Amino acid sequence: MSELFVRTLREAPADAEVPSHQWLVRAGYIRRAAPGIYSWLPLGLKMLRKVEAIVREEMEAIGAQEVSFPALLPKEPYEASNRWTDYGDSIFRLKDRKGGDYLLGPTHEEMFTLLVKDLYSSYKDLPLSLYQVQTKYRDEARPRAGILRGREFIMKDAYSFDVDDAGLQASYQRHREAYIRIFDRLGFEYVIVQATSGAMGGSASEEFLAVLANGEDTYVRSPGGYAANVEAVTVPVPEALPYDDAPAAHVEDTPDSTTITTLVEAANRLHPKAEGEWTAADTLKNVLFMITPPGGESEALAVGLPGDREVDAKRLEAQIGEEVAIEPFTDEDFARHPELIKGYIGPGVLGSESKTKIKYLVDPRVVTGTRWVTGADAEGQHVFDLVCGRDFTPDGTIEVAEVRAGDPAPDGSGPLELARGIEMGHIFQLGRTYAEALGLKVLDQNGKLVTVTMGSYGVGVSRAVAAVAEYSCDDKGLAWPRQLAPFDVQVVAAGKDAALLEKAQQVAQELADRGIEVLFDDRKASPGVKFADAEILGMPTTVVLGKRLADGLAEVRDRATGEAVDVAVDDLVEHVVATVRG
């Protein structure tokens, strides 16, 4: 400790909101270099290397081979795949001295595809799985929580190459099982959820989420075992209802009711329902957005959904595409569309057949025969008993309504429950998108050229360090699980007496000789300072040699449980070795 390059800090950095960020900085594991960009100090790096080692072992165990690409990449492959544009502002772009365009790789599908294309040409070469553990760059809109969401971060990315769909299925399964082993070994609680594949396209896709109350991702689970990212949840489509007996639609005055709450209140007061009360669920809310694809023209989009639900921004983004800018209608947008009366917009002015020609997509619950209270496209008026399929026909459906606890799981496995987590790994069947864009083909058994099908598999390695910290820290500091701690044991000499220091030194050395990784606190600091530092630094076991050495006793503390036991100095090394080896 007297030589280790570390300083523990009394205060958490002002920008650190989550415990892992606070403790990793306070314990001297990482230091901020710029927003979302961190340096790794000796303790942090040792811990990071252990996470990497687990990832490498499990990748090698399924026969994946490690390569290493540059982070500084040419533009052309990313143009061929369209991601130079689609990634938008999230790419760090730069120019070389000749004016050539480069980027710092956000992920490497293109480069792997091209590498395999360069060297392989036959089905006999496949299947193949390659991976790297490498630094990635994304100019995240909201870098946060230290290394949990950085702008520079370390990812393990792997890619599988197969000649046919059955091969891809098998490769996907192999990687999935490797991921299960990786995350079991990292030791935080995780769930595997169905996911959308986002901007990359492709079909089957799952995410491994660390279960964390302050995670950014919401996922759902059902008692019957369904689990999905909120973006991937679909609404079970109700059957169309008969509407022969439905009354004709009628426009009613509903003054000053531009919100769902005021509308429900006005409806109940001025136009009471025959039975029961009007509720928000009886209303059809129409929400307008301006959507702008990268480099393209802005276009309006109207979304119709039951008034008791909000549009979920993440679900909307997943449907429209991460690369597309989505903005709520502004006053200027309304000014450009005088037919749209803010607060009173109804299906009458929406849809590609309407006079506005604005595309109108509705929640899947809005099926033929459902009856709604909705805007009448006139100030202070709403229309009642407006029947879908009779009085209006949307252009299609869209899955963007918020998912709520108690909603039915799409597979009929019971009511959904909501929970929070953070994405640690993502596996998906890319299919032929990249191989097609970049021309990766091989000769099959019949001598015919076929496009290779790919899978892509990522683990957030640096994020995993934060997740493990988040999971194991407490109000005193870090508390690493054994398999990941930078050192197995911290030996604390609690006193300044020469004999005590010598004995502590000897214990530390004997432990090291037995293959235990020891951090020896040989500093001249007070016992209190040393104990507090041991708690902040988080090694799983602390061995204290102090006053009771005179009675032949040392203390062995377990950082995670706080338990302390007295151990005879003569048995100390054996005891500690047994503790560490479990």
Contact set with ligand ATP (CB under 6 A): 107, 138, 140, 149-150, 153, 155, 423-426, 458, 460, 462-463
The continuous run of DSSP H or E covering 44 comes out as helix 42-61
CB 117 to ligand ATP: min, Å: 22
Q: Could you give the CA distance from residue 440 to residue 451 in angstroms, rounded to a whole number?
A: 6
Quick check: helix, strand or coil at residue 180?
helix
* Distance in Å, CB of 36 to ligand ATP, minimum: 7
* CB closer to ligand ATP, 88 vs 347: 88
Is the Cβ of residue 121 or residue 214 nearer to ligand ATP in the bound state?
A: 214
Whether 311 and 305 have beta carbons less than 8 Å apart is answered as yes
Q: Which CB, 458 or 538, lies closer to ligand ATP? A: 458
Nearer to ligand ATP, 24 or 489 (CB): 24
Q: Where do runs of H (alpha helix) occur along 452-542?
A: 461-472, 498-513, 527-537
> For residues 253 and 380, what is the distance between their CA atoms, to the nearest angstrom?
6
- Residue 121 dihedral angles phi and psi, to the nearest 5°: -145, 0
Shortest spacing between CB 574 and ligand ATP, in angstroms: 40
Q: To the nearest whole angstrom, how small is the minimum distance from the Cβ of residue 463 to ligand ATP?
A: 4
Residue among 221 and 463 whose Cβ is closer to ligand ATP = 463
Closest approach, Cβ 422 to ligand ATP, in A, equals 7
Q: What is the nearest approach in angstroms of ligand ATP to the Cβ of residue 550?
A: 51
Nearer to ligand ATP, 257 or 462 (CB): 462
Residue 315 one-letter amino acid: R
What does the CA dihedral 574, 579, 580, 582 come to, rounded to 10 degrees? 120
Report the residue closest to ligand ATP, judged by CB. 460
Helix 165-186 to helix 42-61 angle, to the nearest 10 degrees?
A: 140
- 124: burial class by Cβ within 10 Å (0-12, 13-18, 19+)? exposed
Min dist CB 195 to ligand ATP, Å, is 8
- Residue 193 vs 249, nearer CB to ligand ATP: 193
CA 250 to chain centre: 47
Alpha carbon distances (Å) from 101 to 72, 75, 94, 111, 152: 10, 6, 6, 16, 20
In terms of CB distance, is 107 or 171 closer to ligand ATP? 107
Residue 118: what are its φ and ψ, rounded to 5°?
-60, -40
Q: Report the residue number, 285 or 426, with the smaller CB distance to ligand ATP.
A: 426
Whichever of 201 and 415 has its CB closer to ligand ATP, that residue is 201
Shortest Cβ 147–ligand ATP spacing (Å): 7
Least CB distance to ligand ATP at residue 458 (A): 3
Nearest partner of 549 among 532, 568, 563, 528, judged by Cα: 568
Q: How far is the CB of 211 from ligand ATP (least distance, A)?
A: 14
Element (DSSP H or E) covering residue 199: none
- Kindly report the CA angle at 34 between 28 and 40, in degrees rounded to 5? 30
For Cα atoms 268, 271, 277, give the angle at the middle one, nearest 5 degrees: 35
Region of 450 (left: φ > 0; alpha: ψ -120 to 50; beta: rest) is beta
Angle made by CA atoms 349, 352, 355, in degrees to the nearest 5: 40
